[in-house]
Amino acid sequence: MKTQNVLSVNKTLPYDATFLKVFISLPQINEIASSISKNSIVEGANEIAWALKALMLTDLTTLAGDDTAANVRRLCVRACLPFEPELFDKYVERRLLPEIHCAAVCVYPARVEDAHKTLKQYGKLKDISIAAVATGFPTGQYGLQTRLGEIGYAIEAGATEIDIVINRQLALVGDWEGVYNEVVLMRKACGERAHLKTILAIGELGSMENVYKASMVCMLAGADFIKTSTGKEAVNATLPVGLVMIFAIQEFKRRTGQIVGLKPAGGVRTVRDAIAWMTLVKQTLGMHWLQPHLFRFGASGLLDDVEKVVRDGIAKLKQA
């Protein structure tokens, strides 16, 4: 058993169906998201800064059937050391440069111990979280006790964040209290040993109203984050969906005072994608939300584009 710190986690609140009352104008949502996307283009040094910001908000992810200890180790090393420090020496004193690393690594429960060993070796266990997908990821089509047991297994192996999938079958028949009751049990399984990130699988919920309702019941159940997707659906993170989830976060905060984070996952592959999301959050929730304890990207390929943008941008600055 790994040593677990007591974490500050969100409280479970009583189920209240009045939180689910919503009317969403899809054309208006799409218009707002499109406008924000058009105004999110940055260049030059600003693009480098935003790219590095995106990196430090990323849960670097590998969720493949052929994951091994070796490739999880490589993932963790890359999360710890994405750039050589001397790359920035000409532009900022190294002592003034913030430590650049990913916010977390995200793996299957069976690979958590591999991630824990590597991060411990590099002295990063306090800086980089270990997130584990659980509860029958990505489908959730397992018995409830099996799903709950998977949470405990991942935490015992060293996970400090658990990304659970909600029961879409209950959501699709409108049994929102049933969804709530299951997530409450998952919150209890995490306790104060791990933060709970609830994956809505928005591409399988059928409507924006269902996205809003799923967000609300997960937050009532005690979620620390609401997350768009598993990355395995046909439709994953999109700005209109993100805006609906943000509206739910805002309304939940207004009514309860409880703050919940947001994690887009699946489909965020480029720095421009990431900047569009960060702009959306900045203009709705505020710049203070762009911190790892409130906002994350779930991504496997984003870091490739971050590296390209940063290295190309620095090369251009050197030529100027």
**Residue among 291, 237, 292, 243 at smallest CA distance from 268:** 237
Residue 226: name the closest of 294, 170, 158 by CA: 294
Would residue 318 show up in a list of annotated catalytic residues for this protein?
no
Distance CA 11, CA 272 (A): 35
Q: How far apart are CA 54 and CA 270, in angstroms?
A: 10
Dihedral, CA of residue 128, residue 133, residue 138 and residue 144, to nearest 10: -160
Angle between helices 239-256 and 26-38 (to 10 degrees): 110
Residue 18: phi and psi, rounded to 5, are -65, -20
Look up residue 5 and give its two tokens.
């710190």
Task: Indicate the angle between helix axes 302-319 and 44-56, nearest 10 degrees.
Answer: 150
At 52, list the tokens: 């590095």
d(CA 125, CA 130): 8
Q: Which of 124, 197, 213, 227 is catalytic?
A: 227
Say which of 21, 253, 263, 318 is annotated catalytic. 263
CA distances from 216 to 16, 53, 184, 205 (A): 10, 28, 13, 14
Residue 227 annotated to the active site = yes
Which DSSP string do the residues of 9-74 spell out, in sequence order?
-PPP----GGGG-----HHHHHHHHHHHHHT----HHHHHHHHHHHHHTEEEE---TT--HHHHHH
Alpha-carbon distance of 113 to 157, in angstroms, equals 5
Residue 225's DSSP bridge partners are: 197, 261
**Residues labelled as active-site residues:** 227, 263
